[in-house]
């Protein structure tokens, strides 16, 4: 068994990582020329990834995996990597600080108030309502089962990254749409909420295609990172309406507050409104 497979095997059975993480390890290790890369090899890996078109965030995602493997390979898995470690280490790239894409208020209104016709359009409409009302990830929404929904207390249980479950509230308006969908589809508790005709999970690729077509049919271009833009929109609206960033962290299922802060970039209009309210010059009038 080579070193890569040994590392993955220990992470899979001792650290209990998810199958998605195992798949990510395999994809990352394909960039390494050998199981014992030198510092020069790591620099060449970064260059090849950049030449292949990977953005800074994509490169850093691979480097996190590579650095974890290198530390395990040299120091074992019981200690944390520190400046005292002598093993090769890939320095992560500086990532640009960009404003995350969101839907505008007008676009949200068009998505929410549309009157869908037909089974598949009603299912798509429910998906957009779910994403906008709970801020859940698209993977969490597509994996949701009817039994995960507490209709009486307006709560939904989500299976997040790393097998971390969380319970988040939803609105009475969303409850009405959920009840209507479950009733019309004659869904049982064990059924996936937003399923195919065979009660299997919908494809993320097909959902992305349908959402983009929906946006264009409503008269606007879909924002970049379209499906995740629902999550950004939820977070921005949550903060605009006085929600705490600490509560937002809990709702979004982030392990660190730093990740939540990425979602809290207020728009220029927000900053202008706040500035008019707190300006010292404005108080002198």
Please state whether beta strands 149-150 and 165-169 pair in parallel, antiparallel, or not at all (unpaired). Answer: unpaired
From residue 94, how far is each of 50, 97, 252, 260 by CA, in Å? 13, 9, 25, 19
Contact assessment for residue 136 and residue 193, using Cβ atoms and an 8 Å cutoff: no
From residue 225, how far is each of 56, 143, 240 by CA, in Å? 16, 20, 22
CA–CA gap between residue 163 and residue 167 (Å, rounded): 13
Residue indicated by tokens 């890996």? 45
State pTM to two decimals.
Answer: 0.78
Instruction: Give the pLDDT confidence score for residue 254 in this predicted structure.
Output: 82
CA–CA gap between residue 136 and residue 271 (Å, rounded): 26
Contact assessment for residue 182 and residue 120, using Cβ atoms and an 8 Å cutoff: no
Helices and strands (H, E) in the chain, number of each type: 13, 3
Q: pLDDT (tens digit, 0 to 9) for every residue of the chain, 285 residues total?
A: 589 999 999 999 988 888 889 999 999 999 999 999 999 999 999 999 999 999 998 999 999 999 999 999 887 766 677 777 888 899 999 988 777 788 999 999 999 999 998 899 999 999 999 999 999 999 999 999 999 999 999 999 999 887 889 999 999 999 999 999 999 999 999 999 999 888 899 999 999 999 999 999 999 999 988 999 999 999 888 888 878 888 888 888 887 877 777 766 655 566 566 656 655 565 555
- 269 C-beta neighbours (distance < 10 Å), count: 8
Structural domains of the chain, ranges and CATH numbers in brackets: 3-75 (no CATH), 105-266 (1.10.443.10)
């Amino acid at each position: 068994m080579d070193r890569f497979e040994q590392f993955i095997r220990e992470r899979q059975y001792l650290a209990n990582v998810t199958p998605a993480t195992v798949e990510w390890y395999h994809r990352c290790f394909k960039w390494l020329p050998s199981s014992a890369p030198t510092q020069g090899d790591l620099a060449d890996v970064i260059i090849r990834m950049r030449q292949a078109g990977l953005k800074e965030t994509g490169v850093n995602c691979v480097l996190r995996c590579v650095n974890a493997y290198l530390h395990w390979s040299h120091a074992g898995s019981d200690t944390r990597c520190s400046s005292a470690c002598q093993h090769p280490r890939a320095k992560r790239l500086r990532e640009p600080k960009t404003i995350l894409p969101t839907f505008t208020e007008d676009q949200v209104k068009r998505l929410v108030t549309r009157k869908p016709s037909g089974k598949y359009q009603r299912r798509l409409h429910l998906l957009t309502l779910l994403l906008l009302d709970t801020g859940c990830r698209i993977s969490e929404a597509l994996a949701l089962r009817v039994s995960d929904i507490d209709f009486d207390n307006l709560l939904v249980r989500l299976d997040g990254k790393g097998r971390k479950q969380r319970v988040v509230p939803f609105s009475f308006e969303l409850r009405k749409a959920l009840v209507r969908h479950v009733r019309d589809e004659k869904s049982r508790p064990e059924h996936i909420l937003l399923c195919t005709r065979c009660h299997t999970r919908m494809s993320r690729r097909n959902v992305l295609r349908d959402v983009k077509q929906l946006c264009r049919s409503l008269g606007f271009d879909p924002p970049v990172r379209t499906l995740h833009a629902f999550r950004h929109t939820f977070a921005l609206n949550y903060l605009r309406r006085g929600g705490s960033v600490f509560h937002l962290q809990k709702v979004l299922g982030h392990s660190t507050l730093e990740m939540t802060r990425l979602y809290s970039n207020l728009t220029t209009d927000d900053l202008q409104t706040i500035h008019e309210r707190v300006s010292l010059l404005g108080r002198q009038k």
